Amino acid sequence: MNRKIIPHLVIAALPFLVTAAHASADEAWKQLAADVEAKCRKAAVAIEKPNAVVDPFGTSHYGLALVTGKPKGAKGLVVQICVYDKQEKSVEIGSAMDAKEFGLTPAK
pLDDT at 21 over 60: no
User: pLDDT above 70 covers what percent of the chain?
Assistant: 74
Higher pLDDT pick, 2 / 63: 63
Pairwise CA distance, residues 103 & 87, whole Å: 33
**Which residues 6+ apart lie within 8 Å of 45 measured at CB?**
none
Residue pair 54/65 in contact by the 8 Å Cβ criterion: yes
pLDDT at 3 over 80: no
Is the four-CA dihedral 57, 63, 66, 69 of positive or negative sign? Answer: positive
Pairwise CA distance, residues 105 & 99, whole Å: 6
pTM assigned to the model: 0.74
Residue pair 71/78 in contact by the 8 Å Cβ criterion: yes
pLDDT at 17 over 70: no
pLDDT digits (tens, 9 = 90+) for 29-67: 899 999 999 999 999 999 999 999 999 889 999 999 999
Arithmetic mean of pLDDT over the chain: 83
C-beta atoms surrounding 71 within 10 Å: 15
The torsion defined by the Cα of 24, 61, 36 and 99, in degrees rounded to 10, comes to: -140
